[in-house]
């Protein structure tokens, strides 16, 4: 069985949401319409497929010249540690070879990226609700 990396198609969205749900990424699942809109407006948007089944994905944003930001990357648990995430990142970067790659990591995934040569950087985040409350 070989994993193929290809562009996201709207028909993949249901499978992506199932992966999100299994991972416990409830914010993406609960905001179904917004999440779908994000996929339709993201570039690159890639899926990893094996025998017709979506087993992973990468959703990114880029300016095409300086930065390729990986918004989400997720591999089905049964397919982890097979190099699929590296294939997804490599494929995304091949589309924009002059860009640097930036991504957020959780406390449980930061070591994975550090072991693959990524450097940590510092950033900040506010949710839409926090932004609304800040205006009050």
How many residues appear in the chain?
136
- Per-residue pLDDT, 136: 62
User: What does the alpha-carbon distance between residue 48 and residue 60 come to, in Å, rounded to a whole number?
Assistant: 14
Name the strands in the sheet holding 67-75, side by side, starting at the edge strand that comes first in the sequence: 4-7, 45-50, 53-62, 67-75, 100-103
- Per-residue pLDDT, 118: 83
Q: Where are the domains of the chain?
A: 4-105
- Per-residue pLDDT, 123: 77
- Per-residue pLDDT, 69: 94
What's the CATH class of domain 4-105? alpha beta
Task: For the chain, list residues with pLDDT below 70.
Answer: 1, 135-136
User: What does the alpha-carbon distance between residue 76 and residue 78 come to, in Å, rounded to a whole number?
Assistant: 6
SS3 62: strand
- Per-residue pLDDT, 106: 76
């Amino acid at each position: 069985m070989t994993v193929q990396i290809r562009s996201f198609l709207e028909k993949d969205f249901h499978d992506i949401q199932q992966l999100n749900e299994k991972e416990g990424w409830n914010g993406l699942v609960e905001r179904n319409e917004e999440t779908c809109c994000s996929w339709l407006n993201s570039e690159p948007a890639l899926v990893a497929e094996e025998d017709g089944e979506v087993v992973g994905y990468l959703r990114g944003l880029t300016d095409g010249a300086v930065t390729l930001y990986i918004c989400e990357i997720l591999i089905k648990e049964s397919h982890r540690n097979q190099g699929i995430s590296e294939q997804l990142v490599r494929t995304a970067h091949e589309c924009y070879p002059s860009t640097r790659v930036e991504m957020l990591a959780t406390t449980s995934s930061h070591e994975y990226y550090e072991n693959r040569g990524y450097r940590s950087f510092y950033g900040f985040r506010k949710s839409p609700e926090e932004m609304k409350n800040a205006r009050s």
